[in-house]
Amino acid sequence: MLDQPVRWGVLGSARIARQEVIPALIEADGAELVAIASRDRARADRCAQDFEIAKAYGNYAALLSDPDIEAVYIPLPNHLHAPYSMAAAAAGKHILCEKPIAGSLADGVRMFDVSEQHGVLLMEAFMYRFHPQTQRVLELVKSGAIGEPRLIRSSHSFPLHLGNRDHDYRWDREAAGGCLNDVGIYCLDVAQLIFEAQPTSAIARTEFRKPHSAEVSLQGIVDFSSNQSLVFDCSFVDALQREYSVLGERGRIRASMSFHPGRNQDVEITIETDGETRVETIAAVNEYRLEVEHFSRCIRSGTDPAITRDSSLQNLCVAESLLQSARTGVRVRMDS
């Protein structure tokens, strides 16, 4: 059994599934994509035909009841992550769920509780963590290349208003949309990954534009228990930005085109220390494939995923605190 590929199903035919994760599942070692489901059977059939997937279902429950499927990938709108993750867990399926893991902290706690009750793994799909660029930044920080990291500056934005996407669920607060949940969450996660500390307070401001109910831009500051801070911005209306810098006592590391560089694009890391600057080029790689391979290995070996329950819930806690701060205009403490 250990040498057999994990049999996967996909709940939904969202853009990210079609463009990124389905190709990654087909390409990945240790994984076999056997089924796709959509609320529209014709759409599921087209997707199955396009990618040569053996089974297509016209509803999600039918896929979850298929005993041949061991794991599911969930790319559904954010407010549907919790109900379908818990349904998948109850059906005995391991779950790779798109970020944010849930639309609220309370839902996130329930999702992990149910997964643990049914003995299945649940991992949030932060594919950027598996990219060699991220791994190299962590290696440099841990080696002391820039001294103690003190500050992270991060930006993640893209113009969602372009490309005839006016009806995208991400404009809708009721669907747990908004730029923080969609792109700002990466900024929160990379700070957690590098600082390895508990957040203590958050402050933010947001911008809204009618007719959308969710925030279109947000700027925030998150302080951590280690006297370290994240300063970040995210947006659905600003020009494309995907980068972060780590500032330490002796220098700075800058990761360009981070978070989602594309499988065919090389990326760079700039290291500035002791008055000298050097640039490292990281070869293009499919980070989604690496993510799928990691989670499949965890399923087969029974080991815990790299992205843990505590990690995912911490991001949700910080996100809720930032939105509360934006609503009230005051700093929100998380350490009381």
Mean pLDDT of the chain: 95
What percent of the chain has pLDDT above 70? 98
Return the number of other C-beta atoms located less than 10 Å from residue 51's C-beta: 17
| Same domain, residue pair 197 and 87 | no
- pLDDT of 1 strictly over 60: no
Dihedral sign computed on CA atoms, order 44, 26, 168, 321: positive
pLDDT of the residue at 298: 98
Q: Write out the residue range of the structural domain in which residue 70 sits.
A: 6-125
| Same domain, residue pair 174 and 266 | yes
| Same domain, residue pair 105 and 165 | no
Query: For position 228, which CATH number holds?
Result: 3.30.360.10
| Same domain, residue pair 203 and 268 | yes
pLDDT of the residue at 248: 97
Mean pLDDT of 271-282: 94
CA 38 – CA 14 distance, rounded (Å)? 9
- pLDDT of 119 strictly over 60: yes
| Same domain, residue pair 114 and 236 | no
Q: Is residue 149, in this structure, part of any structural domain at all?
A: yes
Cβ atoms 159, 234 nearer than 8 A:
no
Cβ atoms 8, 33 nearer than 8 A:
yes
- pLDDT of 162 strictly over 80: no
pLDDT of the residue at 168: 85
| Same domain, residue pair 241 and 284 | yes
Q: How confident is the model at residue 295 (pLDDT cuts 50, 70, 90)?
A: very high
- pLDDT of 209 strictly over 90: no
Q: Is residue 323, in this structure, part of any structural domain at all?
A: yes
pLDDT digits (tens, 9 = 90+) for 129-153: 999 999 999 999 999 999 999 999 9
Dihedral sign computed on CA atoms, order 286, 287, 293, 296: negative
| Same domain, residue pair 117 and 236 | no
Mean pLDDT of 178-184: 97
Of how many residues is the chain composed?
Answer: 336
What percent of the chain has pLDDT above 90? 91
Cβ atoms 170, 177 nearer than 8 A:
yes
| Same domain, residue pair 204 and 74 | no
Instruction: Give the end of a domain, one of 66, 98, 125.
Output: 125
Cα→Cα distances 28→49, 189, 263, 286, Å: 19, 25, 13, 10
pLDDT of the residue at 111: 98
CA 101 – CA 123 distance, rounded (Å)? 8
Query: For position 47, which CATH number holds?
Result: 3.40.50.720
**Spatial CA neighbour of 127 closest among 28, 53, 221, 32:** 28
- pLDDT of 163 strictly over 70: no
- pLDDT of 164 strictly over 70: no
Number of domains in the chain: 2
- pLDDT of 336 strictly over 70: no
